[in-house]
Structure 1
Amino acid sequence: MTATAQLRLVTPTEARAPLVPDAQIINLTIESDEKLLLTVVDAAHRLGIGRTLMYELLDAGEIASVHIGRLHKVPVEALQDFIERRRDAARGA
């Protein structure tokens, strides 16, 4: 998803000008990075845990992952599923 916004830069002055000149307009494009697959380190960072614990959870099958060539990737949905399972277990479901 890409969004474009216009920002007006205004410098403080003694007297307020009624209009900001167009020369002070900056067009800013913001792109959100919505990856479907994360690296193990990125997935651990999102969960707020260390890389080693993340690998332990992956090896134990607690969090699903996929291999693409030599790369070990974690689907974003796998993190959401893991959190939901942990919540359900904490509720006693």
Structure 2
Amino acid sequence: MSTGTQFRLAVPVPENRILRSGATDEQIINVTVNTEDKLLLTVMEAARRLGIGRTLMYELLDAGEILSVHIGRLHRVPAEALDDFVSRHRTRRNEL
């Protein structure tokens, strides 16, 4: 599934450009960025999403804190496993 995000950028017009009457000194640029939401992430992508390093990510995977799947030789992390991990740790913190 892909999602689109729209941005509206206001960019200053260079001073050497001649402005028409009634024109502003900004140029408006509309940009649409499409992103693809992956179901399975590489270990590095998952680590980046959590803001941790590769070594800690592998430690969490080995300890069973974050679930992963193997497809042949590939080690992949379901995106929802990261959400589950964060939810569990957020709940634990609130219980203390």
TM-score for both structures, normalised by structure 1: 0.72
1:91 aligns with 2:82: no
Query: Unmatched 5+ residue regions in structure 1?
Result: 20-25
Deviations 1:39-79 (A, max 9, x none): 00110111111111101100111001111111000011000
* SS at structure 2 position matched to 1:63: coil
RMSD: 3.1
Give, in whole Å, the separation in 2 of the partners of 1:28 and 1:16. Answer: 23
Moved over 4 A (4+): 2-7, 9-15, 26-29
Q: Percent identity?
A: 56
Give the structure 1 partner of residue 57 of structure 2. Answer: 54
Q: Give the paired residue count.
A: 90
TM-score for both structures, normalised by structure 2: 0.70
Question: Equivalent residues in 2 for 1:69-80 (5 A)?
Answer: 69-80=72-83
